[in-house]
Amino acid sequence: MNFDGNFYNPSEEVVNNAHIKDWNKLNKFASENPEKFWTSMAEELHWFKKWDKFLDESNAPFYQFFVNAKTNITYNCLDVHKNSYRRNKLAYIWEGEDGSTRSISYNELYNEVCKFSNVLKSMNVQKGDIVTIYMGRVPELVIAMLACARIGAVHSVVYGGFSTESLHERIEDSVSKVVITCDGAYQRGKLVNLKDITDGAVDRSGVVQHVICVKRTGQEVNMLAGRDMWYHELMQLPIASIHCKAEQTDAEDPLFILYTSGTTGKPKAILHTHGGYMVGVYASLKYVFDIKDEDRYWCAADPGWITGHSYIVYGPLLNGTTSIIYEGAPNFPFPDRWWEIVEKYGVNILYTAPTAIRGLMRFGDAWAKRHDLSSLRLLGSVGEPINPEAWRWYNEVIGDGKCPIMDTWWQTETGMFMITPMPCMPLKPGSGTKPFPGIEMDILDEEGNSVADNEEGFLVIKNPWPSMMRTIYGNDERYVEQYWQKYPGMYMTGDSARRDSDGYYWVIGRVDDVIKVSGYRLGTAEIESALVSYPDVAEAAAIGLPHELKGNAIHCFVILKSGVTNADELPDKLKLHIRHEVGPIAVPEKIEIVDKLPKTRSGKIMRRVLKAQALGQDPGNLSTLED
């Protein structure tokens, strides 16, 4: 890329080889003809029956897309490729943390998914039933997701780093009769017993009838007769045939729910559908990561988050891509593990998060320079703003200055990239450039007016898009209230941003009580309710403070109940308690014991005042402060 003082411009070669060579032309077409734009993408996919109408807005904000169409996302992920020249192409190359590897072709993936679909059917899993999946990063996680979708069941993947408590809460909320888990996972050479965690969650739940356990580590686990079954044994039964027709789901039938943190203590289940979600992730991956048939693509996220759902599982499979899945940590056993994988498999596209880039950058350039990374063509970033220093390192040391960086802004709720470059676009480090064609966005002030260039405001989306969430499962009111009430008719992202005079967007961060820690999304309320569930704690407040590697780190303030002694050891005990209640990702950096918390007269904790105090900044308007 050539830097002209303002922009990093892609080389002629990149532009000439890209699917989209003229972003402005495509954007103009999409904004003038959104229906034509989206339906032309949809036409590239298979439908059992085409739609009567592209968009039904009659019950906004409960929008419907591809009305009355019949499809099944797995038909497009599997059958279409199995019936084409891609039959024996690799769908996944998997590498375990312990160095073991597996390659799975489209044909094999099709067989495995059909077999497991039949297993689920034999357990009476029906269309619309929710199945919870709690596993490490193994191919069976993908197989389980696809098998649910194939029979019209709805998957609810819970990230393998969540605790017993969090898993229990999600199983109960979704009323899952079946839970799929594994015996354990490797974590930096250590074994984590996921089956134990699952047992803890399931034992207390009245809803689960079957637990299916994948053998990964071979460690000793408890198997409860009548309830627990081994995956590999089920897959050998005659019932597990390699034939299972995809259920003809309605475009608006639910595909999955995915819990994410919001502003209350209870995580919300974001619901996505078969039709619109499929079109959005297919088109966005194709154009943004410029997918070519011969590419080897690696999204290094966890399939348990939306990035994994959209861009490890569905997007790549819809595009018939070969993806890499790596089980372990980026720097295990050495800080060049990722670079070794890039070289070994000839990865062309690498998509990861700023926190991982910063984490690897700190080990110096030499680890990357040991490896031939010349196969890389495009790089990607997601999850939080990327600081220019990390962007430049990623560009120069990893991409050798020739790989455009796709800094993609999006959310669990949006399903697909919303602000993102395409390879043909000039880049600025730290900006995701402009909204994806067909997406209308704006930045508003408190009253709903567009702010001037370079001014900060609330980031909103002004028109519905096919891969948008449809609701919060089981809570339509909260969906309306949380996303659509502040500015009627517009989707409120919860982020603040500014737009520069070139029309480039710069996302600043969350404006609600959500903290992004190492790209993970956590609600202050979840952490606070975990803290006050500890017997010694009377009140608690959690805030995010800038952190060099993690982006943000959690800092907590607690008021103890009167009469509590031995407070010295309490912060460490509370950290353990949070690990147990929420999971290791939520463990605070620091917990301070205080006598008072700043509150409004109505008793709400003013986190912004705590934050300003901690940063030594002016706390701003204090007129609502009680004391």
Q: Which of 163, 412, 482, 552 binds ligand PRX (CB under 6 A)?
A: 412
Nearest distance from C-beta of residue 612 to ligand PRX, angstroms: 20
Instruction: For residue 306, state whether it binds ligand PRX (rule: CB under 6 A).
Output: yes
Residue 421 in the binding site for ligand PRX (CB under 6 A): no
**Interface segment toward ligand PRX; rule CB under 6 A; list 112-120, 154-162, 195-203, 410-418:** 410-418
Where b means 16+ CB within 10 Å and e means fewer, 515-547 reads: bbbbbbbbbbbbbbbbbeebebbebbbbbbbeb
Q: Phi then psi for 108, rounded to 5 degrees?
A: -65, -40
CA dihedral angle for residue 217, residue 222, residue 225, residue 230, rounded to 10 degrees: -10
Cβ-based nearer residue to ligand PRX, 166 or 198? 166
CB distance 249 to 71 below 8 Å: yes
Considering beta carbons, is residue 90 or 459 the nearer one to ligand PRX? Answer: 459
Residue window 455-484: x/- pattern of binding to ligand PRX, with contact defined by CB under 6 A: ------------------------------
Binding track over 21-60 against ligand PRX, x by CB under 6 A: ----------------------------------------
**Could you give the CA distance from residue 499 to residue 504 in angstroms, rounded to a whole number?**
5
Residues 254 and 128 sit within 8 Å (Cβ to Cβ): yes
Look up residue 612 and give its two tokens.
């300003």
Indicate which single residue of 72, 117, 348, 408 sits in contact with ligand PRX (rule: CB under 6 A).
Answer: 408
User: β-strands 268-273, 249-250: how paired?
Assistant: unpaired
Q: Does 178 bind ligand PRX (CB under 6 A)?
A: no
The helix or strand, by DSSP H or E, that contains position 172, with its residue range, turns out to be: helix 164-174
Measured CA to CA in angstroms, residue 587 lies from 287, 360, 434, 569, 574 at distances of: 38, 22, 35, 16, 9
The helix or strand, by DSSP H or E, that contains position 270, with its residue range, turns out to be strand 268-273
* Residue 152 vs 330, nearer CB to ligand PRX: 330
If one asks whether residue 504 binds ligand PRX (CB under 6 A), the answer comes out as: no
Cβ(306)–Cβ(411) below 8 Å? yes
Q: How far is the CB of 283 from ligand PRX (least distance, A)?
A: 17
Of 333 and 584, CB closest to ligand PRX: 584
Q: Is 198 helix (H, G, I), strand (E, B) or coil?
A: helix
454: left (phi over 0), alpha (psi -120 to 50) or beta: left
Query: Which part of the chain contacts ligand PRX (CB under 6 A), choosing from 16-24, 140-148, 313-321, 404-412?
Result: 404-412
For 142, phi then psi, to 5°, come to: -65, -45
Dihedral angle sign, alpha carbons of residues 360, 361, 365, 368:
positive
Q: Which of these ranges, 62-70, 107-115, 402-410, 447-455, lies near ligand PRX under the rule CB under 6 A?
A: 402-410
Q: Does 431 bind ligand PRX (CB under 6 A)?
A: no
Of residues 17 and 264, the one with the C-beta less far from ligand PRX: 264
If one asks whether residue 337 binds ligand PRX (CB under 6 A), the answer comes out as no
How many of the chain's residues bind ligand PRX (CB under 6 A)?
A: 22
Would you say the C-alpha torsion 287, 293, 294, 300 has a positive or negative sign?
positive
For ligand PRX, what does the binding mask look like between residues 191 and 230, x meaning CB under 6 A?
----------------------------------------
Query: Of the two residues 395 and 412, which places its CB atom closer to ligand PRX in the complex?
Result: 412
Q: Which is nearer to ligand PRX, 151 or 517 (CB)?
A: 517
Nearest CB to ligand PRX, comparing residues 338 and 409 = 409
Name which of 221 and 515 has its Cβ closer to ligand PRX: 515
Instruction: Say whether residue 74 binds ligand PRX (CB under 6 A).
Output: no
Q: Closest Cα partner for 19 from 359, 267, 292, 271?
A: 292
Which residues, at least 6 apart from 408, have a Cβ–Cβ distance to it below 8 Å? 288, 380, 381, 382, 417, 419, 420, 432
**DSSP labels, 120-164:** HHHTT--TT-EEEEE--SSHHHHHHHHHHHHTT-EEEE--TTS-H
Stretch near ligand PRX under the rule CB under 6 A, chosen from 94-102, 182-190, 340-348, 378-386: 378-386
Taking the complex as a whole, how short is the minimal distance between the CB of residue 435 and ligand PRX, in angstroms? 13
Residue with smaller CB distance to ligand PRX, 250 or 495: 495
Which of 352, 411 has the CB closer to ligand PRX? 411
Task: Measure CA of the first residue to CA of the last residue in the chain; give whole Å.
Answer: 55
Indicate which single residue of 320, 385, 421, 466 sits in contact with ligand PRX (rule: CB under 6 A): 385
- CB nearest ligand PRX: which residue? 412
Sites for ligand PRX among residues 252-291 (CB under 6 A): 260
Would you count residue 437 as binding ligand PRX (CB under 6 A)?
A: no
391: contact with ligand PRX by CB under 6 A: no
410 binds ligand PRX (CB under 6 A): yes
Q: Which residues pair with 298 in a beta bridge?
A: 350
Smallest separation, CB 258 to ligand PRX (Å): 9
Torsion of CA 380, 385, 391, 394, to 10 degrees: -40
DSSP letter for 383, please: S
Query: 3-class DSSP state for residue 303?
Result: coil
Q: Per rule CB under 6 A, is residue 518 in the interface with ligand PRX?
A: no
Give min distance, CB of 309 to ligand PRX, in A. Answer: 10
Residue 524 interacts with ligand PRX (CB under 6 A): yes or no = no
SS3 519: coil
Decide: is 383 part of the binding site for ligand PRX (CB under 6 A).
yes
Query: Distance of CA 471 to CAs 166, 213, 265, 269, 481, Å?
Result: 21, 31, 18, 8, 11
302 contributes a contact to ligand PRX by CB under 6 A: no
Give yes or no for residue 550 binding ligand PRX (CB under 6 A): no
The answer to whether 177 and 210 have CB atoms below 8 angstroms apart is: yes
- Residue 111 touching ligand PRX (CB under 6 A): no
CB of 3: closest distance to ligand PRX in angstroms?
Answer: 21
**Could you say which of 81, 499, 521, 555 contacts ligand PRX (CB under 6 A)?**
521
Q: Which of 382, 416, 531, 570 binds ligand PRX (CB under 6 A)?
A: 382
Q: Residues in the site for ligand PRX, rule: CB under 6 A?
A: 260, 306-307, 382-385, 407-412, 432, 493-495, 507, 509-510, 516, 521
